[in-house]
Structure 1
Amino acid sequence: MLFVLLMILALSCNVQGDERYSKEFQEFAARSKNHTNNWAVLVDTSRFWFNYRHVANVLSIYRSVKRLGIPDSQIILMIADDMACNPRNPRPATVFNNANQHINVYGDDVEVDYRGYEVTVENFVRLLTGRLQPGTPRSKQLLTDEGSNILIYLTGHGGDGFLKFQDSEEITSQEMADALEQMWQKQRYHEIFFMIDTCQAASMYERFYSPNILAVGSSLVGEDSLSHHVDSSIGVYIIDRYTYYALEFLENVTPNSTKSMGEFLTVCPKRVCISTVGIRKDLFRRDPYSVPITDFFGSVRPVKVISGDLDEDIVIVKDETVRTVKTGRYRYVPPLVIS
């Protein structure tokens, strides 16, 4: 459903059933109906100190999507959250993704939605499909609709056709595919970018059968996904190779960037990744090279701003109904915002 805020400073407003409206506004309404908002579901499925790199992976992606405009209210972050305050951490309350320790990706404003033993297969599937328990806080809900583009990023330990959750359970590739199909049937997404950094990552998207999904995995079936480098002061590997090079690309992306998803899919060739990055795009209806990277990693705010005095009809799009308002002469501040 489209939600419209029309703020008008006027003395009167006469709503009429006139079906006349400008071609410009008609096209604007049509574009907005398709893709209206962006969400991110970022999940680290592992725990324990030696998996430090997985927390760094997911927090780095979290930092990137926030920088590019997706607000915390539209990001679901699921992590064990046991690294920043681990007694073995030489720098408490920090997580770094580079041996130079330039950026503390834990930061001061990380909002973890599911932490510790809340990071389960059941909670993950319920989150995606909208079948959460009554009374679940709004911050723990994926409130998407048919206009939502969703980035789903997963990191942890995987195998051929499964992804482990905290060394105690696993989700299979078929269960993942069925969850996405439920999302499609319930009109919970417009497009999905599925991104996974694990061993044998490509096996997790092989069974997908729902439309409008673009998928990338850090390794093919039978291959391991490798870590990038150790920070000797911390004593563990601190980031995985695929995510490291993905972040290197994202650091050069701005909210107004012209970079495409097609370019992003090539960020980690085998000579640097060691593993072979897998890509699946047969379910995706658009050419990735024509899709701005901000369609998944950024924020969508289609706004039509009109200033000055107008005496023409404008279009209001509300609850998928198009109608005209006889404007008369008054000022709009702003006249139309669709989000």
Structure 2
Amino acid sequence: MQTEIEVLLSLVTRLPDRRSQGRAIRSWEVVPDTTLNMKLPILLLLCFVSSVAAGKNWAMLFTGAHDWENYSTHSNLCHAYHVLHKAGIPDERIVVVMYNDIADNPLNPFPGKLFNNYNNTDVYRGTPMDYTGKEVTADLVLAVLKGDKATVKNLIGREGKVVDSGPKDNVFVAVSDHGAPGVLLMPDRLMHAKELNAALRYMHSNKKFANLIFYLESCESGSMFKNLPKNVYALTAAGKDTDAYMNYCFDPKIKGICIGGQFSTAWIENSGRVDLNTFTFRQQATAIEKHVNRSHPLIFGDHSLLDRPLIDFFGSRSRAKRILTFTDLPHTPQGSNAHTAPFHSMELTLLKRQIEKNPSDIELRLKLSQLQKLRSVVDRFYALAVRHVYMFGSSTNIHKILTVNNEPIGNWDCYEAAVNAVSASCNGLVQHRKVQGYFLSRLSVLVNICNRETGPDVVGGVRVASKATALCR
């Protein structure tokens, strides 16, 4: 017996074929000239077949960064939400995960608002906050991505929105966060590249998407993807051992921080300026690469998706011509060095620039001194860990381990064990709002030790250093 779909398709195939000009089939073009009673049922059948075959678009936006210094990570994703929403993805298919402690932060001169560029247009209003505060954990993010409703409920004690996609759906994921070799920052711990890749492979094997595109902004983000499954394409803001950069760092109304991410604002603003129906991900990757002038974006996975138009993942063709009624995008020299700062050392970079302009400002110099003292605590932590492992090592070898920052991860098992030890015994310093970026930038020390030693030795060094560091607790 024919299925319902087969019956419908058999009716459609009897209609005149007018596809020779390469245009999409329109119902009013294929309906034969017959009675009204015949036209209406066929129109309905065609609509039904189209809706069954098309699939849906889903999006997930997440960050594990929080505290005032990470303003840009929240404003990036809020702005991204508005672009996707206006392009046609309904709210029930956009999941937003962020700590949500920036808009109403006491340091915010514009309470309840977030800006993502110099136009100072609020991107916070209207953005759904599906998971916030202590709900935001590494396990929660992975469960939401995999569409695991049971785990989400078990983790937070309530039902929550997930990427509930199916085999015909397209999924878009965008992240703006702190990172380090093979890890992303979450409030409870560091998420491993292994976990993220496993989640993507789970989605693929369980037919959770037709295609998936992943945009990742973090330092060392090029170290996060390996052996991606078919029909998955990822674009990272930085290489395996390079910083990502924040931008819009010179807003006179919001001093001392950057309000955008160079990679995030590149793709978001580009999406607002182009026709999503025709502009491809290959063209966007080229535009991003030109714009992101301080780091090294990398492409991973299925390159065939590069030739898909943005609208295939960003929304609905009927709403894609002009989505940027939300804000009039600026044309500013945001790519120039004066408007950017590394994710890992944003506050230090901006302080030094301020002091160059105001060398006699005692308050600025005091802030710089306090920040440098905190960074020295980080340096001492890693020095203690290395000294524990190499009690009788040569000073030359120890210096190399402490300073080289571009060795690829050779011993993943050791490194993952060491990172877990950091999350367990020194999460207080990992999450410290003033130096967390610097702390993460120096995880390369653990990469270097693990490339030479075994896991237990490195874990022991981390624990000894943690006990001697008050900020770890």
Query: What range describes the TM-score normalised by the shorter chain of this pair?
Result: 0.7 to 0.9
Give me the whole-angstrom Cα distance separating, in 2, the residues matched to 1:272 and 1:105.
Answer: 22
Moved over 4 A (4+): 16-19, 24-35, 134-139
Alignment correspondent of 2:467:
none
Match of 1:174 among 172, 191, 194: 194
Give me the whole-angstrom Cα distance separating, in 1, the residues matched to 2:7 and 2:313.
Answer: 37
Cα distance 1:50–1:18, how it changes in 2: closer, same or farther (>3 A)? closer
Residue 149 of structure 2 aligns to a residue whose secondary structure is coil
- What letter matches 2:162 in structure 1? Q
Q: TM-score, normalised by structure 1?
A: 0.75
Residue 227 of structure 1 aligns to a residue whose secondary structure is strand
Shift of 1:94: 0.1
Residue 104 of structure 2 aligns to a residue whose secondary structure is coil
Cα distance 1:211–1:234, how it changes in 2: closer, same or farther (>3 A)? same
Match of 1:293 among 310, 315, 335: 310
Cα distance 1:19–1:177, how it changes in 2: closer, same or farther (>3 A)? closer
Give me the whole-angstrom Cα distance separating, in 2, the residues matched to 1:279 and 1:30.
Answer: 35
Q: Per-residue CA shift, 1:4-44, capped at 9, x if unaligned?
A: 9xxxxxxxxxxx97984222889978876664100000001
Give me the whole-angstrom Cα distance separating, in 2, the residues matched to 1:57 and 1:106.
Answer: 10
**Deviates most, 81-90 or 292-301:** 292-301
Give me the whole-angstrom Cα distance separating, in 1, the residues matched to 2:9 and 2:275.
Answer: 39
Alignment correspondent of 1:319:
none
Cα distance 1:153–1:20, how it changes in 2: closer, same or farther (>3 A)? closer
Shift of 1:113: 0.4
Match of 2:100 among 78, 81, 87: 81
Residue 117 of structure 2 aligns to a residue whose secondary structure is coil
Shift of 1:294: 0.6
Alignment correspondent of 1:104:
122
Higher RCO (Cα < 8 Å, 6 or more apart): 1
Give me the whole-angstrom Cα distance separating, in 2, the residues matched to 1:76 and 1:31.
Answer: 26
Cα distance 1:253–1:67, how it changes in 2: closer, same or farther (>3 A)? farther
**Please, which runs of 5 or more residues in structure 1 have no aligned partner?**
5-15, 302-339
Cα distance 1:20–1:249, how it changes in 2: closer, same or farther (>3 A)? closer
1:87-236 mapped onto 2 (5 Å cutoff): 87-101=106-120, 103-107=121-125, 109-133=126-150, 136=153, 140-166=161-187, 168-205=188-225, 207-230=226-249, 231-235=251-255, 236=257
Cα distance 1:88–1:184, how it changes in 2: closer, same or farther (>3 A)? same
Q: Per-residue CA shift, 1:79-134, capped at 9, x if unaligned?
A: 11111111111111100011231x21002x22110111111111111112233337
- What letter matches 1:185 in structure 2? S
Contact 2:237 2:263 in 1 (8 A): yes
Match of 2:12 among 15, 22, 34: 22
Cα distance 1:91–1:141, how it changes in 2: closer, same or farther (>3 A)? same
Alignment correspondent of 1:64:
83
Q: TM-score, normalised by structure 2?
A: 0.55
- Which has a greater percent of helix? 2
Higher Cα radius of gyration: 2
Give me the whole-angstrom Cα distance separating, in 2, the residues matched to 1:30 and 1:23.
Answer: 12
Percent of residue pairs bearing the same amino acid type: 25
Residue 151 of structure 1 aligns to a residue whose secondary structure is strand
Cα distance 1:30–1:85, how it changes in 2: closer, same or farther (>3 A)? same
Alignment root-mean-square deviation, CA: 2.8
**Please, which runs of 5 or more residues in structure 2 have no aligned partner?**
18-24, 26-45, 319-473
- Which has a greater percent of strand? 1
Shift of 1:245: 1.6
- What letter matches 1:229 in structure 2? Y
Shift of 1:269: 2.6
